[in-house]
Amino acid sequence: MAKRILRLGPAVYGPDGKIPLGRTAFRKRFIETGRLRLVPLGARAVGVVEEEIDAVVEELIAARDTAPPRVFPGAETMRSQARKPTSRRARASDQREAEVVGK
């Protein structure tokens, strides 16, 4: 399989890229740490070898699969509470029901 170089930009990072992070987070996590090395393409343009990006994605998936599931604090209480109505009419209706039940 031929190696491809992807120009560093939306094809690599961003909402539609292989690694959906912003530019700064992508650089800090992968370029500055040495996990990915840049390939000069011209005077200012740089790219990354596609196979290296795929390897990083596989590492991230493997780390996810070996780590215990994360539990977020307060997640259970958030699920158990019903969403409260936000419109004035709904709040007034709830207040009237509470008054009737409270009597």
Please state the domain extents for the chain. 1-103
**Model-level pTM greater than 0.85?**
no
Whole-number average pLDDT of the chain: 83
User: Side-chain half-sphere of 64: how many Cα atoms within 13 Å?
Assistant: 6
CB neighbours (10 Å) of residue 23?
A: 13
* CB-based burial label for 99 (10 Å; 0-12, 13-18, 19+): exposed
Q: How confident is the model at residue 48 (pLDDT cuts 50, 70, 90)?
A: very high
Residue 95 has pLDDT above 80, yes or no: no
